[in-house]
Amino acid sequence: MSDRIAAGKTADKGATRADEVRLAIEEDIFLGRLRPGTRLDEESLAQRFNISRTPIREAILQLVHAGLVEKQPRQGAVVAPLKLHRMVQMFEVMSEIEGLCARFAARRMSEEEKQALKHLHDTSKAHMEARELDAYYAVNRSFHEAVQAGSHNEPLQEIARGLFARLAPYRRYQLNHPNRVKDSFTEHDDVVEAILAGEPEAAYAAMRRHVTIQIDIFTEFVSIMGGNEIQ
Amino acid sequence: MSDRIAAGKTADKGATRADEVRLAIEEDIFLGRLRPGTRLDEESLAQRFNISRTPIREAILQLVHAGLVEKQPRQGAVVAPLKLHRMVQMFEVMSEIEGLCARFAARRMSEEEKQALKHLHDTSKAHMEARELDAYYAVNRSFHEAVQAGSHNEPLQEIARGLFARLAPYRRYQLNHPNRVKDSFTEHDDVVEAILAGEPEAAYAAMRRHVTIQIDIFTEFVSIMGGNEIQ
DNA sequence: TGTCCATCTCTTGTATACAGAGACGGGAGC
DNA sequence: GCTCCCGTCTCTGTATACAAGAGATGGACA
């Protein structure tokens, strides 16, 4: 049964093989085991998961429509390599989308949600002070997800998740920027404050600034690398 | 070859049968030939297009990920019926996304693009005065697409297109609202003016208002119908 | 007569076989 | 020695056959 699927989190009960494969490949992309540009060969994937090509094809199609994989008729699929200018555009949209989430969150979060958000933020502070990078970034992701959920707008959350997924493989590049963790925490601080105080525009501005700074760091990184296509 | 595909626009040269089927079904949904809630039976679709179930399944999967179709494992696919509160949320996001497009457009549109937008707007005025409803709404769509393209941000355009596609089957309901065409034109007028003048925030506000009004009309329509699920 | 259970059928999910389009390499010609 | 063309070969796209789950239907029992 599910032992046929080698990697990744276990899928839901009612899920099909295709879904399990999709989750596994998705995780491989997130974690960098599959780098952008890597070819996805149907036959070898079929062998790896010990199933036929049919569900593999379906999984790949789903990934194509999630934007994680690119595919051209009769020329196979590769993990989507993002062109630089497109990635900058995506960050640009991301900053607005996340800002929007924060604006809604400031208006709509329940007291429980606000407390949960504050708790997440406090946790990340502990990780920051202990210099636990990986833990900090894990909580960081939860933080953003909490704000997104706080928007109480599902389509908006889906858009945010989609953008996040497509940018995820590139986020690790900013890990090593000097003082990034400390600055990031300070920016989060502004966001939390505005949301807890129920100030939509301040929350929007703070979150937008936070994500925009990531664009700066990213383009800075790219200009050092000098490449037009990151892989 | 392509004569196997009965309906819709002809697909690209390199396209697969699955792509052709997807386009055909997409158009059926847009034009209301397939109403939300309609079951998509793989076998009968295969017969209709005179191909096997395999490409049909791929087409359906693509539609699922475009949000036009919903699917549960082993229970088939139906044209996505939107829950009311979800639809309102989508309009809510749409107003922000289109507002964002307008904001970017005001900053980034070239002189040629601005002239083309103005020309579209003038054309719609003629249709309005001649009371040519269908023509007006066709140009209306082009108008919105022009603004989206003017944002010069592809991911943003994709998001806007996706939302538009999912809302398209429901838009026709506002056709008959009293004075809607005239009001709509006036709202467009504000948008055009702001964009031509290069005023991002005014363009954002005008476009946001324009789409928000559609939400009002829509909810008004729904409250008259009284249903929780529109079909 | 109503309800519950078993079976049956219909539809989807998966496997496998086949066909066709590009890619790649070898050989021939310049 | 280099280039171009043709054949082969691999991989994707499609068809078809098979398996399995979900809902329907009918019968039996209360």
Per-residue pLDDT of chain A (231 residues; tens, 9 = 90+): 333 333 333 334 467 788 888 888 888 887 778 888 889 999 989 998 999 999 999 899 888 888 889 988 888 899 988 778 888 899 999 999 999 999 999 999 999 999 999 999 999 999 999 988 888 888 988 999 999 999 999 999 999 998 988 887 777 666 667 788 889 999 999 999 999 999 999 999 999 999 999 888 877 777 765 544 544
pLDDT confidence of residue B14:
58
List the alpha helices (DSSP H) in chain A: 17-30, 42-49, 53-66, 84-108, 111-129, 133-150, 154-171, 180-196, 200-225
Size of interface A-B (CB pairs under 8 A): 62
Query: Quick check: B14 and A74 CB within 8 A?
Result: yes
Tokens of A214: 């990531």
Angle at the Cα of A163 (from B148 to A139), degrees rounded to 5? 145
Q: Which nucleotides of C are covered by protein (CB under 7 A)?
A: 11-17, 20-23
What residue of A is the nearest CA neighbor of B97? A97
Parallel, antiparallel, or unpaired for β A77-79 and B39-40?
A: unpaired
CA atom of B15 to C1′ atom of D6, Å: 27
- Residues in chain A with CB shorter than 8 Å from the CB of B73 are 14-16, 19
Q: Is residue B92 less than 8 Å (CB to CB) from chain A?
A: yes
A48 CA: distance to closest CA in chain B (Å): 22
Task: Flag residues 7-66 of B with CB < 7 Å from strand C.
Answer: 14, 39-43, 53-54, 57
CB A183 within 8 A of CB A214: no
B121 CA: distance to closest CA in chain A (Å): 27
Q: With 0-12 CB in 10 A as exposed, 13-18 as middle and 19+ as buried, what is B203?
A: buried
Query: Quick check: A90 and B155 CB within 8 A?
Result: yes
Is there contact between A72 and strand C, defined as CB under 7 Å from any strand atom?
no
Sign for the pseudo-dihedral over CA of A201, A202, A207, A210: positive
A132 CA: distance to closest CA in chain B (Å): 34
pLDDT confidence of residue B172:
63
Mutate to test the interface with A, among B153, B164, B211, B215 (most CBs of A within 10 A): B153
CA atom of A54 to C1′ atom of C13, Å: 9
Closest partner residue to B73 (CB to CB) among A14, A73, A90 is A14
CA atom of A72 to C1′ atom of D1, Å: 37
CB B110 within 8 A of CB B104: no
Tokens of A2: 């599910």
CA torsion, points A120, A91, A83, B94, in degrees to nearest 10?
110
Per-residue pLDDT of chain B (231 residues; tens, 9 = 90+): 333 333 333 334 457 788 889 989 988 887 778 888 899 999 999 999 999 999 999 999 989 888 889 998 888 999 988 778 888 899 999 999 999 999 999 999 999 999 999 999 999 999 999 988 888 888 988 999 999 999 999 999 999 998 988 887 777 666 667 788 889 999 999 999 999 999 999 999 999 999 999 888 877 777 765 544 554
pLDDT confidence of residue B5:
38
Placement of tokens 């409803």 in the chain: B133
CA B64 centroid distance within chain: 16
What residue of A is the nearest CA neighbor of B85? A153
Query: Quick check: B58 and A61 CB within 8 A?
Result: yes
Q: Which amino acid, residue A51?
A: I
Query: Quick check: B93 and A156 CB within 8 A?
Result: yes
B71 CA: distance to closest CA in chain A (Å): 12
Query: Quick check: A163 and B155 CB within 8 A?
Result: yes
Buried b (16+ CB within 10 A) or exposed e, A56-88: bbbbbbbbbbbbbbbbeeeeebbbbebebeebe
